[in-house]
Each structure stands twice: as structure tokens, then as C-alpha cells.
């Protein structure tokens, strides 16, 4: 069964065709970095306009790359769309496209939660990967129950997952999302946007212990997160307590050291929360997804958790950590299997439910 997945929740326009919830036949993603970088963050109105301009072409390319003739009847078996959570204008563009195609092709429309789809990304097969990646997708029993952590620009959420469509929230950020903290720290360091990849590049060769930054763990049993303290600590370190120091430069602040220390502090917090979650829920498996899961240092730390403590860590390949249509199509397949389809009255839900 082939499903077209459409992703427009924030600033990436994504369309993909995925077969049987696992095999990626195509996955086209167009980011809008050049449009937003001079503002240092995503401007919602610009994002939705940009989606309108390209969404049709991105879908056409996804079908073409998958070797599907759009005139065939029907080209795909269903259309899945991320209708929540996200920027309202951006969500509306993807939903309008999905509804139009589902109506024109007379195929089911499936509404997908973007955050849950980040968890699903861990079980997708990469093109050319063959059968190996399909184990996880095919046998839900071997994956669940598991702890799931979504770390992105908009979310830092920890769940107990009983299935790809069944996630119970255990903890959430009380202020900034972790990706947002990366973006803000990068802006303070003058490293540009998006901040995650910029910090990661700047951190190479830096001393991870050079700068003392806080690890906010909250109460000893808390599974919630807080990243505003670390962002403020970076600001004070770079600009001085009174905020008067000029922009960072090599004499005042060693940027590589700050970036490396920042990555290290964030990873410490995430690993500790994973440990707490696993222990409290008596689990030995964790699924990690979202843009920040592309961070190399964090991936190394997760590898250590796997090798030193025997935890089963599932994490998507780099290109499936950030927003994409394949994760939407994949989870859409699971929802379709469960009979979860929507009619044309489907609406967007900008806020997390």
C-alpha cells in the first residue's frame, strides 16, 4: 500500500511516498532557511506563503521520484497530512493540498500528529536499505512498550509509548524547546540560523568542560524539562552580566568552547531524563526523534547509553530527524490500518493536544 505524506507544519515543505509504512519510495524536502535567516527565526506569514508557492511542485516531484504517474487511478492508496501541531497558516496549506488530492483521487484522508510522526521516523527504511529496516515497522510487539523522546524546535516531550499511535505524555518542557535553546544560543554566539547545525559545527574541537553551564533537572523525580536557564547562562557568559560586552569574538570568548560546553550540558540533561523515564516506567528501550536528534554529540552519548548500559536506543538516520513527509506517510499507514481516517471537514490543530 502506497501513501503520500504531506508535511507543512513549520518551515519545511515535505512530500513523500512510503510503501507499507516502511519503505521510502521518495522523500522531497524543501527548507525555507534563506527566507527566514535574516530574521533569526521562522516568520509565520512568510512560511505559509512559501508553502503555497511550492507545495504542488514538491508533491509532483515526490510522485515522479517514486515512479508514480499522477494520472494513474488512483496514484496512491491514501493521502496522509500533518494537521497538528504547528503554525496555523503553514498547516492550512498542507491540509488544503491533502484534501484536494484525496477528493480528486477518491482515496482516504489520514490526519497525522507531527510530534508522534517524529517518533515513527525511527522505524522507516532508508532508500536502498533493503529489508533490514522493516523489522521495527513490521513487528510492533518487538518495539513496545518504549520510552519516546521528541526533541525539536517546537517540542521537548517524553512519552511512554505502547504502539506507534499510542503515546502517553510523561514530561514536557516548561519553557523553551531544546531546539529553540540551540537556535537562541547560536544567535547569541553570532553563529546564524538554524542554530542546531551551526552550534554543532562550531563545537568541533571545542573543550566540552571549558564553560560551566547549568543542567536544569528540576525536582529529583521530574520528567519535565527547562532550557531557559542555560540560554541565559550562555548570554551572560558571552555578553557579560550587564549585557554590555560587544558581540563575541575570539579574544573575549572561545566560541568553540561555549558551543561544545552547551552541547554537553544539553546532552547531560536529555540523557538524565531518559534514565529517569526508563527507570520510572521500568523500560529498557528508548526511541528518540526530532531535529535535535541529528546532533552528533547527542548521538554519541546515546551510543554510550546503548553500549555501556545495554539500553535499546532507536534513532532515525540524520535526514529523517528533521521535518519530512516520509514520517507523515509512515505513521499515516499505521493510522489507516486502524481505520483512523478523516472526512473533508478535517481542521488544523495548531496547539498540542
Among candidates 195, 231, 263, 199, which has minimal Cα distance to 33?
195
Chain residues 143-182 in contact with ligand KG4, contact rule CB under 6 A: 152-154, 179, 182
* Interaction between residue 291 and ligand KG4 (CB under 6 A): yes
Q: Please count the residues of this chain forming the interface with Zn ion, following the rule CB under 5 A.
A: 2
Rounded least distance, CB 222 to ligand KG4, Å: 23
- How many CB atoms sit inside 10 A of residue 205's CB? 9
Among candidates 121, 109, 53, 111, which has minimal Cα distance to 86?
111
Report the Cα–Cα distance between both ends of the chain, in Å, rounded: 29
Long-range contacts of 128-133 (CB under 8 A, 24+ apart): 133/22
What count of residues does the chain have? 353
* Interaction between residue 270 and ligand KG4 (CB under 6 A): no
Residue 7's binding partner among Zn ion, ligand KG4, none (Cβ under 5 to 8 angstroms by kind) is none
Chain residues 122-161 in contact with Zn ion, contact rule CB under 5 A: 152
Place of cell 564553560: 211
**The C-alpha cell that represents 307 in the structure block:** 553500549
How many angstroms from the chain centroid is the CA of residue 11?
12
C-alpha to C-alpha distance for 265 and 206, rounded to whole angstroms: 13
* Interaction between residue 196 and ligand KG4 (CB under 6 A): yes
* Interaction between residue 206 and ligand KG4 (CB under 6 A): no
Residue 202's binding partner among Zn ion, ligand KG4, none (Cβ under 5 to 8 angstroms by kind) is none
* Interaction between residue 8 and Zn ion (CB under 5 A): no
The 40-79 contact track toward ligand KG4, x by CB under 6 A, reads ----------------------------------------
* Interaction between residue 323 and Zn ion (CB under 5 A): yes
Binding site for ligand KG4 (CB under 6 A): 10, 152-154, 179, 182-183, 194-197, 200, 290-292, 294-295, 322-323
Binding site for Zn ion (CB under 5 A): 152, 323
Amino acid at each position: 500500500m502506497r501513501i503520500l505524506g504531506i508535511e507543512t507544519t513549520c518551515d519545511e515543505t515535505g512530500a513523500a511516498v512510503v510503501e507499507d509504512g516502511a519503505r521510502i519510495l521518495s522523500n522531497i524536502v524543501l527548507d525555507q532557511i534563506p527566507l527566514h535567516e535574516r530574521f533569526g527565526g521562522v516568520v509565520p506569514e512568510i512560511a505559509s506563503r512559501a508553502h503555497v508557492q511550492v507545495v504542488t511542485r514538491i508533491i509532483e516531484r515526490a510522485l515522479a521520484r517514486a515512479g508514480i504517474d499522477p494520472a494513474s487511478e488512483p496514484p496512491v492508496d491514501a493521502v496522509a497530512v500533518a494537521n497538528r501541531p504547528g503554525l496555523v497558516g503553514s498547516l492550512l496549506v498542507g491540509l488544503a493540498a491533502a484534501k484536494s488530492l484525496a477528493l480528486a483521487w477518491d482515496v482516504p484522508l489520514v490526519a497525522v500528529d507531527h510530534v508522534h510522526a517524529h517518533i515513527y521516523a525511527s522505524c522507516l527504511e532508508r532508500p536502498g536499505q533493503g529489508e533490514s529496516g522493516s523489522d521495527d515497522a513490521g513487528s510492533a510487539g518487538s518495539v513496545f512498550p518504549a520510552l519516546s523522546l521528541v526533541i525539536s524546535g517546537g517540542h521537548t516531550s517524553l512519552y511512554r509509548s505502547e504502539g506507534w499511535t499510542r503515546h502517553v505524555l510523561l514530561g514536557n518542557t516548561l519553557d523553551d524547546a531544546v531546539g529553540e535553546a540551540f537556535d537562541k544560543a547560536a544567535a547569541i554566539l553570532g553563529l546564524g540560523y538554524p542554530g542546531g547545525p551551526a552550534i554543532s559545527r562550531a563545537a568541533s574541537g571545542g573543550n566540552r568542560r571549558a564553560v560551566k553551564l547549568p543542567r536544569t533537572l528540576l525536582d529529583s523525580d521530574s520528567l519535565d524539562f527547562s532550557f531557559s536557564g542555560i540560554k541565559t547562562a550562555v548570554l551572560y557568559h558571552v555578553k557579560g552580566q550587564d549585557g554590555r560586552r560587544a558581540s563575541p569574538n575570539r579574544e573575549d570568548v572561545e566560541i568553540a568552547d561555549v558551543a561544545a560546553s552547551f552541547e554537553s550540558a544539553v546532552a547531560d540533561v536529555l540523557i538524565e531524563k531518559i534514565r529517569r523515564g526508563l527507570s520510572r516506567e521500568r523500560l529498557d528501550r528508548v526511541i528518540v526523534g526530532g531535529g535535535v536528534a541529528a546532533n552528533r554529540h547527542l548521538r554519541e552519548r546515546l551510543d554510550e547509553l546503548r553500549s555501556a548500559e545495554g539500553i535499546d536506543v532507536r534513532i532515525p538516520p540524520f535526514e529523517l530527524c528533521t521535518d519530512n513527509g516520509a514520517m507523515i506517510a509512515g505513521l499515516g499507514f499505521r493510522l489507516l490500518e486502524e481505520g483512523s481516517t478523516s472526512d473533508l471537514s478535517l481542521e488544523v490543530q495548531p496547539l498540542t493536544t
